[in-house]
Structure 1
């Protein structure tokens, strides 16, 4: 049984030493416990395939393994060398080296045209953080339709991170002020998503194609950032730039600049929540709920291959996003965007999986019934 102190130490290692985003670290705690990988020593003795099965992304698995080995090797020393600023900047750079249209195409999320009967019958097995991510990224199609998918994924991941840290503090897993409370990111614009204040950076010059989604909810007016660094609504969309969600905790860890200009320095090394990591988190997080039928526990039942499980999770994500799309679309024409944003959190709370209270439920998984999401749609 992993103790509260062991969980705290593991989360500190993953988020502070291995530089894994806190929501990603939280979402993998249970799997690490199941694999008996709950200490730096056990992680250092593990291998890349085992860690990649948990973290999905090879880059994240390598970060965990290499950091664990480095700390274990240098434990007798009085001080552990920090990763060089140049290397850290390379990992978290907000610059886009690829063609924008190619970037957006590579981030496409799975889609579904399932009928309502199929949606209603589907029950997913997941933990809470990726469900918040799915709610947020779909919400932003309606509240910030001029933003490209890369921005929506980044902003949604920022919401998950802020929410996760708030929960961690309430459980005593994290202590002290947040980076935002300590003044990191001052001068950067701030927007509100699902009741969370998010510091953002404008992606000046990012010209992406395929803005067909801008038409969603257009009659409600478009949003832009005003000179007071808040979100406002205007009658015309103007030239609102794409946005990145800033990772203030990573900024504090890297000892970067506390105060940046109101418009930033065109992505000059400020750490962001990457769209690729958010997408990978969504793709791996929604398994099918275990069947109660007897053959599910039969020893003769063939175990699903990793490829089969991967395809199943992607299909489940598509069904979830379709259900959320139907929910938001039913309200988008009658609610102002700020009201739609306010209601989104309550809708999430109404359908989130039940987990144990306190630290025992940290990263715990439960059922999400798509029927409950569909039942939240506006009647008539």
Structure 2
């Protein structure tokens, strides 16, 4: 798992920082690793002829070297503020210019290489909504294994948003009925996510494997990482599995209709959906490391840089996703997909942060012990 995580980091650097097309970057990963150039820091210290020999293009080699030096310099300067990686990625994906394979690869979530014993000693700080989102994304890998990561993120966010809206109304924080109770999305197909029906939009013309490297340009590590965690299970033509899906944003649909009725906007618009980029960004910024406040005085506080905070949050997300995945995997061969979906909600309820319910506790964070999640295994 550590190798896969390192591979993803190297691919992100080449495609996002060095601006190398992902398909081309994937063909160079093995050569860079063989030359012991596995991180931007190592690449920044390499000789230009070495990179020229790998990339076979002087301009591209200089481009990679300059990007590595720039990234390394930023990481060494803790006071320098930079755009977060997830914001850069969201802007890139929103253009729709990448191939489906490149888009799905860019949405890959962090992977933890921690052992179960190591996870058992960890405590993560989070509030309830992103923890629900993490559970939904993980369980969808088993209940709807054919769905690519873009669909899993969209469907998970649809379930979380519907749950949050219902909870806000029940607590008196928002007025009026949720859009689903008013009949918005009626007639649209739906699927169950954590026991809640989510209205969906079928993406009939979308193939997540379109643009996927083949043959010599596809390394074994890339194949494994892409197949298991990003693209979903291959679906045969005669399969009754659903095509890739989007989760429909019913609240946005109602709002759009209200504006159309008042003449503020055009009536003919596509169904609003929950974008996978926003769901991924929400996950990446929501989990942090537990700190024992009683022992803070024993250690002189050091201000963390933006990149250090982002790295910590990404690592914490990887750990909690791995813990939930271990639980789902332990039950997947025993429970039906419908039962696994229902059980996942009860698992979340058992380990959710113990915040005060009501206006005072809305949005508060609390700690979650990963040992409590792992204890849910079969």
TM-score scaled by length of structure 2? 0.65
Q: What is the 5 A alignment of 1:20-35?
A: none
1:135 paired residue number: 135
In structure 2, what is the equivalent of residue 247 of structure 1? 249
Q: 1:117 offset after TM fit, Å?
A: 1.9
Deviation track 1:87-119 (CA, whole Å, cap 9, x = no partner) reads xxxx9x999553110110000000012112210
Alpha-carbon spacing, 1:158–1:143, altered in 2? closer, same or farther (3 Å): same
- Pair 1:367 & 2:360 matched: no
Partner of 1:344: 344
Are residues 257 and 198 of structure 1, via their aligned partners in 2, closer, same or farther at CA, if it must alter by over 3 Å? farther
Gapped regions of structure 1 (runs ≥ 5): 1-49, 61-90, 224-235, 259-266
Which aligned pairs between 1:278-289 and structure 2 lie closer than 5 A? 278-289=279-290
Contact 1:94-1:269 within 8 A present in 2 as well = no
TM-superposed CA distance for 1:176, in Å, is 1.4
1:96 and 1:238 map into 2 onto residues whose CA distance is 28
Q: Where does structure 2 lack aligned partners over 5 or more consecutive residues?
A: 1-80, 210-222, 261-267
CA distance in 1, matches of 2:341, 2:259: 31
Q: Deviations over 1:2-61 (max 9, x none)?
A: xxxxxxxxxxxxxxxxxxxxxxxxxxxxxxxxxxxxxxxxxxxxxxxx9x99xx85999x
Distance 1:180 1:291 in 2: 42
Residues 1-380 of structure 1 mapped to structure 2, 5 A cutoff: 57=87, 96-209=96-209, 212-213=227-228, 237-238=239-240, 240-255=242-257, 269-294=270-295, 296-297=296-297, 300-378=300-378
SS of the equivalent of 2:257 reads coil
Secondary structure of residue in 1 paired with 2:359: helix
Contact kept, 8 Å, 1:195 with 1:342, in 2: the verdict is: yes
**Distance in structure 1 (CA, Å) of the matches to 2:88 and 2:149:** 23
Q: Measure, in 1, the Cα distance between the counterparts of 2:303 and 2:275.
A: 33
Deviation at 1:298, TM superposition (A): 5.8
Aligned residues: 271
Pairwise CA distance, 1:340: 0.4
User: What residue in structure 2 maps to residue 262 of structure 1?
Assistant: none
CA drift at 1:346: 0.5
CA contact (8 A) 2:148 2:232 kept: no
Larger radius of gyration: 2
Provide the C-alpha distance between the structure 1 equivalents of 2:160 and 2:340, rounded to a whole number of angstroms: 18
Runs of 4+ in 1 over 4 A off after TM superposition: 56-60, 93-97
Q: Which has the higher helix share?
A: 2
Question: Judging changes above 3 Å, is the alpha-carbon distance between structure 1 residues 239 and 346 closer, same or farther for their aligned structure 2 residues?
Answer: closer
| Preserved CA contact (<8 Å) 1:245 1:273 | yes
Between the aligned partners of 2:123 and 2:298, the Cα distance in structure 1 is 21
Partner of 2:9: none
Structure 1 pair 319/338, CA: closer, same or farther in 2 (3 Å)? same
- CA distance, structure 2, for counterparts of residue 137 and residue 347 of structure 1: 14
Shift of residue 184, structure 1, vs aligned partner: 1.6
Give the match for residue 77 of structure 1.
none
CA distance in 2, matches of 1:333, 1:287: 32
Q: How far apart, in 2, do the equivalents of 1:345 and 1:374 lie?
A: 15
Structure 1 residues 213 and 176, CA gap change in structure 2 (3 angstroms) = same
